[in-house]
Amino acid sequence: MWTFLKIIRLNRATVRSLNPLPRGWTVVLRRSCSSASSESRVTNPSILRHLTSKITATGAITVAEYMREVLTNPVSGYYVKNDMLGADGDFITSPEISQIFGELVGIWCVSEWVASGKPKVLQLVELGPGRGSLIGDILRVFHQLQSVLHGAEVSVHLVEVSPKLSQLQAQCLAGEYTCGGEDELVYRTGTTHTGLPIYWYRSVKDVPRGFSIFLAHEFFDALPIHKFQEDEKRQHLEISPEGGVIVQKLASQIAEDGGAALIADYGHDGTKMDTFRGFRGHKLHDVLEAPGTADLTADVDFSYLRRMAGDAVVCMGPITQRAFLKNMGIDARLQVLLRSCHDATTRAQLIHGCDMLTSPEKMGSRFQFFSLLAPSRLTQPWEEGEGLGRRRRGPAPLPVAGFSELGL
Ligand code: SAH
């Protein structure tokens, strides 16, 4: 029998407002080590008030509900209100560290499109684009590879729940854009600086059907998890049903319309236990302290995503970020950039950025790459007819870039 973890630590004021305590709760009072003024500075009062009145009115909430409210509550959620990325924010991500990251992912997209037989329609879909840096670098690559992409109808689709971040994305990516109404599935449309149509949605289920390359970088780790205790080998299990549903949607679309998904995140293959944590100002932060002022995250369980994807698609990985970027030619790309760069500071930044991305002690081992592909992508088609005399038709499929050495 699975039981929800019910241990929760709250400050004294919150506990007072929870009197009597919901049945079955364990509340551990935390010794306050901050002064009254610094506490009020860090606490997001509306989230805390909302959570305490909800718990008082309807009882204990699950970890998943806590995470969802804190991160994406439409009025005062952490993602909804903040730009949390970068050196001045709470955490920094690979696309923010070096342009090379996005360039190599851009080459991966083009490579998969070529290997899929260059379909006429190419939808580039990113889930949780943050500041838009990754897609911006990819669009630059697409522009440079116009001769390869010649004839393809490329469009850009961003799935973003945060009004604040989607506005930053529009400013960064679109020459012009218009906003739709609150209730519209497409809540913003525009044209990228390179002349491509671009659309914003709140949910991936609203993205149109068609051949699509889906990208999700540090997206799945932000989705709410349930925590369970049960009699298996691991003492904690963390499961994100929302993540599972999204992967099922990607898998069924890829199986039916063609395409691929590239999911990059910190994670494990069904081995880790308690990974739920907070980040604030680049430091670990108690998940229950000052809700709404820190990022909440849990490692992605890729074995669970693989199970949810099912048999209709082929899964590749997870492999380390280091292996993926090395296979994509990060060393050669760095040398090209260094050859044309004579400013000592910029050269040092380029070298430092690549080291951050690939070094096993930094982001190289902790971050993993995982992919979903249409089965047809990896099979060599048979000639018409049946029986032993039948031969393979056409050339052998191209290897999948990143998961083996790039062969463009
Ligand atoms: N991919 C970016 C940003 C990662 S932060 C990067 O690597 O730099 C997580 C992103 O996912 C943010 O843009 C956040 O607003 C978005 N996000 C979080 N939960 C979401 C949800 N349920 N639906 C859509 N977007 C979500």
Compare 182 and 48 and report the one with higher pLDDT: 48
Q: Atom 6 of ligand 1 has which residue's CA nearest to it?
A: 130
Q: What is the mean pLDDT of residues 274-298?
A: 95
SS3 231: coil
Side-chain-side CA neighbours of residue 337 (13 Å): 20
Among 350, 240, 213, smallest CA distance to 302 is for: 240
Top mutation candidate among 70, 84, 219 for ligand 1, by most atoms within 8 Å of CB: 219
Of the listed ranges 315-324, 350-359, 381-390, 395-404, the one predicted with least confidence: 381-390
Which residue has better confidence, 56 or 42?
Answer: 56
**CA atoms of 257 and 104, how far apart (whole Å):** 24
Cis, bond preceding 318 (omega within 30 deg of 0): yes
Cα–ligand 1 centroid distance for 11 (angstroms): 29
Distance (Å, whole) CA 353 – CA 90 = 18
Nearest CA to ligand 1 atom 21: 161
**What are the phi and psi torsion angles at 122 (to 5°)?**
-130, 110
How far does residue 280's CA lie from ligand 1's centre (Å)? 16
Q: Provide the pLDDT confidence category of residue 337 given band limits of 50, 70 and 90.
A: very high
Lookup result for tokens 């993540």: 243
The protein residue whose alpha carbon is closest to atom 11 in ligand 1 is 128
11 pLDDT above the threshold of 80: no
Looking at residue 311, what DSSP letter applies? T
Measured in angstroms, how far is the CA atom of residue 220 from the centroid of ligand 1?
8
Residue pair 231/306 in contact (Cβ under 8 Å)? The answer is: no
Give the least confident one: 141-155, 244-258, 340-354, 387-401: 387-401
Tell me the pLDDT of the chain averaged across its residues.
Answer: 87
Better-scored residue on pLDDT, 311 or 18: 311
pLDDT digits (tens, 9 = 90+) for 110-139: 999 999 999 999 999 999 999 999 999 999
In angstroms, what is the C-alpha Rg of the chain?
23
For the record, the structure tokens of 246 come out as 């999204």
